[in-house]
């Protein structure tokens, strides 16, 4: 299989850089104080000029490669999956290095452990200063730390992960409906971003599996009820509640489905199965071309990104044992296409394939970390489940 060579090449590339790299949204990294004074459109312009350029001009802007907590968590998840499948000491060594880095980059001053981005960034709806914790980054870190606690028998990882529930339950804002509530993205905003809120519920679900605290389950129920109330009749979800957040994209839909799968696996009594299946049906039907090329938007093909492909590989691999081998087969076809069309001979994956050109800039968190986790999950599942035949 081509994947067997693709993964080592990617790993060698990332290890050589100590998992440091650029990010599509780091355009304000060296402009932290100035960005506070700039208006929304100035900030967006600076970010997207860097993001969309097929030439990386960051070195001329004094923007250096850096560690990204979310990227480190994705690498850790993938590394632990490989170690679990094949107890190679090098995987354990890399995992310990990643745990050390994640512990170092924990943000202080909140009710529990939490993580964010090292650069300030502007979305369509809100501005987040550098080193502001978010529920999204924190949920991915906690997921990886809980895997480490289980696979490496690391109690420190468990205690660190467990403390994060205090950040979710005490520091994040809540927007209420009669059905439940939506968590804010960070402690600084009141935006209602559906995937972010559900990732918070997924974090609580993984801890509930261990701790069985009533307040964890109560929060999960409230967040699930809110998500159920905003699911569109066709099974899809918009990105968020605001008028300028009414789009349906690939990877945020995958995040919602992945988090839902985690929750329903741990808490089947919450009856989220029908919501998940309706969302999955929309996802498979509207967000792929020929069942193998990830479509960025439900109504728009380009850009084609490994970021989307990786999210789909992880989701489809995870659900394949519960919902059927056809999903593992589809995950394999997606990975095969990405390796053939978007992996450089140096081992890294390109950022985007647009209609007229391919943006070949290497982004560590956005692409390499995601593809590493995706390939690790897929190869481990194929290796461990010999009954599944890949077409």
**What is the rounded CA–CA span in Å between residue 159 and residue 56?**
40
> According to the model, what pLDDT value does residue 154 have?
96
> According to the model, what pLDDT value does residue 35 have?
59
Residue 31 is classified by DSSP as G
Q: Which of 65, 91, 120 is the last residue of a domain?
A: 65
Report yes or no: 197 and 182 within 8 Å, Cβ to Cβ: yes
> According to the model, what pLDDT value does residue 315 have?
98
> According to the model, what pLDDT value does residue 126 have?
83
CA dist 148 to 72, 90, 182, 383, 384, Å?
13, 15, 29, 21, 19
> According to the model, what pLDDT value does residue 391 have?
46
CA neighbor of 235 nearest in space, from 277, 198, 279: 279
266 with 166, same domain: the answer is: yes
β 358-359/352-353 pair status: antiparallel
> According to the model, what pLDDT value does residue 390 have?
46
262 with 333, same domain: the answer is: no
> According to the model, what pLDDT value does residue 30 have?
74
Q: Report yes or no on 113 lying in a domain.
A: no
Residue 367 is classified by DSSP as I
CA neighbor of 366 nearest in space, from 351, 353, 344: 351
> According to the model, what pLDDT value does residue 3 have?
84
Q: Report yes or no on 44 lying in a domain.
A: yes
- What's the domain count of the chain? 3
Query: Would the pTM of this model clear 0.85, i.e. be above it?
Result: yes
Question: Which stretches of the chain drop beneath a pLDDT of 50?
Answer: 386-388, 390-391
Residues recorded for the chain:
391
Q: Report yes or no on 281 lying in a domain.
A: no
Containing domain of residue 39, as a range? 24-65
CA neighbor of 70 nearest in space, from 43, 94, 105: 105
Q: Report yes or no on 282 lying in a domain.
A: no
318 with 385, same domain: the answer is: yes
Residue 167 is classified by DSSP as I
143 with 240, same domain: the answer is: yes
**What is the rounded CA–CA span in Å between residue 81 and residue 113?**
24
270 with 142, same domain: the answer is: yes
Per-residue three-class SS string for 298-311 = CCECCCECHHHHHH
Q: Which of 9, 43, 65 is the last residue of a domain?
A: 65
272 with 347, same domain: the answer is: no
Asked if the peptide bond before residue 303 counts as cis, ω within 30 degrees of 0, the response is: yes
CA neighbor of 193 nearest in space, from 120, 260, 244: 244
């Amino acid at each position: 299989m081509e994947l067997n060579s693709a993964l080592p090449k990617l790993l060698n590339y990332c290890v050589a850089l100590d998992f440091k790299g650029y990010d599509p949204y780091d355009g304000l990294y060296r402009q932290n104080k100035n960005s506070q004074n700039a208006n929304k459109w100035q900030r967006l312009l600076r970010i997207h000029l860097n993001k969309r350029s097929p030439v990386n001009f960051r070195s001329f802007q004094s923007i250096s490669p850096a560690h990204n907590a979310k990227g480190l968590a994705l690498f850790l998840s993938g590394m632990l999956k490989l170690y679990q499948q094949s107890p190679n000491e090098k995987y354990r060594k890399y995992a310990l290095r990643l745990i050390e880095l994640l512990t170092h980059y924990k943000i202080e001053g909140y009710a529990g452990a939490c993580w964010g981005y090292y650069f300030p960034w502007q979305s369509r709806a809100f501005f987040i200063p550098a080193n502001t914790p978010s529920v999204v980054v924190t949920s991915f870190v906690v997921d990886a730390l809980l895997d480490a606690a289980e696979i490496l028998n690391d109690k420190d990882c468990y205690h660190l992960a467990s403390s994060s529930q205090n950040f979710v339950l005490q520091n994040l804002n809540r927007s209420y409906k009669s059905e439940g509530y939506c968590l804010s993205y960070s402690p600084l905003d009141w935006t209602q971003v559906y995937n972010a809120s559900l990732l918070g519920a997924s974090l609580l679900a993984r801890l509930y599996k261990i701790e069985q605290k009533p307040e964890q389950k109560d929060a999960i129920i409230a967040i699930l009820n809110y998500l159920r109330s905003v699911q569109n009749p066709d099974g899809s979800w918009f990105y968020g509640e605001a008028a300028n957040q009414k789009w349906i994209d690939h990877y945020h839909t995958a995040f919602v489905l992945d988090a839902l799968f985690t929750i329903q696996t741990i808490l089947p009594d919450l009856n989220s199965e029908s919501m998940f299946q309706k969302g999955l049906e929309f996802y498979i039907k509207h967000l792929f071309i020929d069942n193998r090329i990830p479509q960025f938007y439900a109504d728009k093909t380009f850009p084609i990104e490994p970021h989307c492909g990786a999210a789909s590989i992880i989701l489809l691999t995870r659900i394949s044992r519960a919902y059927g081998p056809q999903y593992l087969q589809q995950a394999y076809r997606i990975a095969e296409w990405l390796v053939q069309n978007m992996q450089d001979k140096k081992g890294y994956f390109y950022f985007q394939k647009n209609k007229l050109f391919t943006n070949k800039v290497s982004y560590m968190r956005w692409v390499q970390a995601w593809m590493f986790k995706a390939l690790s999950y897929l190869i481990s599942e194929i290796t461990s489940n010999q009954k599944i035949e890949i077409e």
